[in-house]
Chain A
Amino acid sequence: MTEQVLDAGEPAPAPVTRRRVTLRPRRARSKLESSFRTPWWHRAAERTIAVFALTAIAAIALIFIFIAREAIPMFWEAEFAEEVQIRDLFMAKEWHGYDDPVFVWQPVGEPAKFNVIPLFVGSLKVTLLAMLMSIPLGIGCAMFIALYAPRSVREVVKPAIELLAGIPSVVLGFFALMVIASWAQATFGFRFRLNAVVAAIGLALTIVPVIFTISEDAIQSVPKTLTEAALALGARKYQVALRVVLPAAIPGIAAGVVLGFGRAIGETMIVLMASGNAAVMELFDFSTSVRTVTATIAAELGEVAQGDPHWRVLFLLGVMLFGVTFFLNIVGDLIIHRLQKKLTAS
């Protein structure tokens, strides 16, 4: 009741009127003024930049989609089911003429045998062997450069290793095939000229730069305060190196190793040229020839008709390879990211 009374006492609110904005008469723009106006194409260029920036995301997606598109029909195609059972791709089978269940990759055999396990075993074997060589070499180089080498040596070595990283892998494969293979056979007396060891040496040449660069970065970015504190406490230089610097740089070094591993397992030309390419399932004998996943795809896809069961299996290998390296990259990046956060926080 009282409210109404109060309301009545108030003057009615004036209706909102918009004052008409009168346009100023147009006049010609001065030259100076028009040079301040942004041309239309600036906005267009900015839009283009934003669209182009999405290419990398699109590329990753397209790679996965279009490799999978060639592989996936294997799950429902009659033609595929007639020749290959999905189970036999991964499990051992007692083929006609064999005494035990075996893992065999024999795409031209009758019947064709597509078991991917020997290929992955081959890839892992060569990669692990290459890692065994390149981890000590890469970390050793990085420690020497970061801790002992005088400036002059550092300035020669870093470009030299960059040079090594810039050598095309087909050249390294050629070097392994022509030079390392002969040398290794003469030195170690291998039965087969091309084998896992030769390929691994070639591979190591591509991984060492990866491990070296990332490890050296990690060692250099260990805070000076840590090393100085250790030295002030009376530690020897080697003690500082092994007990202070190395543990602090371990995450970075680990990232280098993970990324190097991803690089090695996906490397194609070196293993294609220098590993001998026989798909034998030997777990521990490194003197035999091996056939890796990558080399199999490279060597066989050219001779297969599109849509053939063999074609589908090769694309499946590609999908699996993509998955493995994708996972390794994410892990490696995660480690580097954590390390950066930790170092900037401290």
Chain B
Amino acid sequence: MMKHTKKDWLLAGLTGVSLFVILLLLFVLLGQIVWHGAPVITAEFLSESPGADMISGGIWPAIYGTVFMTLLMTLAGVPVGIATAIFLTEYASPRSRVAKLVRIAVNNLAGVPSIVFGLFGLGFFIIFVGGSLDAILYDDPRPVWGKPSILWASLTLAVLTLPVVIVTTEEALRQVPGELRDASLALGATRFQTVYKIVLPNAKGGILTGVILAVSRGAGEVAPIIFCGAANFLPYLPTDLRDMFMHLGYHVYALATQSPNVDAARPTLFGTVLVLLVLTFSLNLLAVIIRARSRAAIRS
């Protein structure tokens, strides 16, 4: 090992400071939210509907709406994402045009701004798909499908989270050793049997990680659902796919920017943010744990 000179210390110090700044900001952020948010969280806060002023009462409809929407999103998006990853790793040859095109599309999809997804959800799902359904099924000028609803919001977010599922699943499939595939094929199994019986079971952990990461990303996105179905204030729970819904993130946005008395709303706001953070972080943590476990299992 060599001796460090003054300039070495300087560079290490400067780069170390930038790391310190980031960690400090993260610490302050989490600290503030837990510090102000934790006292607000009571059983009533979690289980009651908000009052008419949106400040009093609880946030149960928002929690319920977020979870419901996330479930729908997962049901719609995850199978497609996993299928795409299987196609890319197991079927398409790396040089194939289609595979290249799919990869480019996935990368670009990941970079599309979330607000553009909102416009897409409005222009495609609500106006085009919903509007067409209404025109075909009903004579009534009042929209049944062609209006913001939990279904369209979930589908929009499913498209948004698709790249996350695809990229992480692809990574998980690539970690399955090639020897396993070769052995299976050599024994006379077809390609599909190999994928279904050998590759997928071995990549289960990694795939689950991807799914959870996507869910956590989708649960926190607000911009796409502003026009696609999130409601400002809705004291009842959505029971139908065509209902609008309350959402934790949207609730934070609405309360923080549109409330006439922001100071009075402060405690409720911090409490809501804390709930949202706990929801997304516990999902992230779960993903990290599962990933670590599945990696250890593959190594051994």
Contact = CB atoms under 8 A, between A and B. Distances in A.
Given A49-B91, A53-B84, A174 B252 contact: yes
A261 to B, nearest CB: 11
B254 to A, nearest CB: 10
Contacts of B252: 170-171, 174
Contact of B80 (A55, A173, A263): A55
A102 interface: no
B15 to A, nearest CB: 4
A137 B19 CA distance: 7
Contacts of A162: 284, 288
B192 A38 contact: yes
Contacts of A172: 29
Contact of B115 (A159, A171, A266, A273): A266
Q: Give the bracket for the number of chain B residues in contact with chain A.
A: 35 or more
Interface in A318-337: 318, 321-322, 325-326, 328-330, 332-333
Given A36-B188, A294-B113, A329-B111, A140 B17 contact: yes
A168 B280 contact: yes
Contacts of B19: 140-141, 144-145, 149, 157
B277 to A, nearest CB: 6
B25 interface: yes
Interface string A141-170: 101110111000000010111111011111
**Secondary structure dominating the interface of B:** helix
B108 to A, nearest CB: 5
A42 interface: yes
A163 B26 contact: yes
A137 B190 contact: no
B12 A148 contact: yes
B40 to A, nearest CB: 14
Contacts of B219: 168
A142 to B, nearest CB: 8
Interface in B74-109: 79-80, 83-84, 86-88, 91-92, 98, 101-102, 104-109
A163 B284 contact: yes
A326 B112 CA distance: 7
A289 to B, nearest CB: 13
Contacts of A329: 107-108, 110-111
Chain A CB within 10 Å — which of B15, B16, B193, B277 has the most? B15
Contacts of A262: 111
A260 to B, nearest CB: 11
B269 interface: yes
A294 B108 contact: no
Contact of B256 (A143, A174, A326): A174
A48 interface: yes
Interface in A26-75: 36, 38, 42-43, 45-46, 48-50, 52-57, 59-60, 62-63, 66-67, 69-70
Contacts of B273: 171, 174
Interface string A261-292: 01101111100110000000000000000000
B15 A231 contact: no
B116 interface: yes
B108 A326 contact: yes
Given A55-B84, A272-B257, A322-B113, 20 more contacts: A53-B92, A53-B102, A63-B112, A66-B127, A67-B116, A137-B18, A140-B14, A144-B19, A173-B256, A174-B252, A174-B269, A175-B29, A178-B256, A262-B111, A266-B116, A268-B115, A268-B222, A294-B115, A298-B118, A325-B116
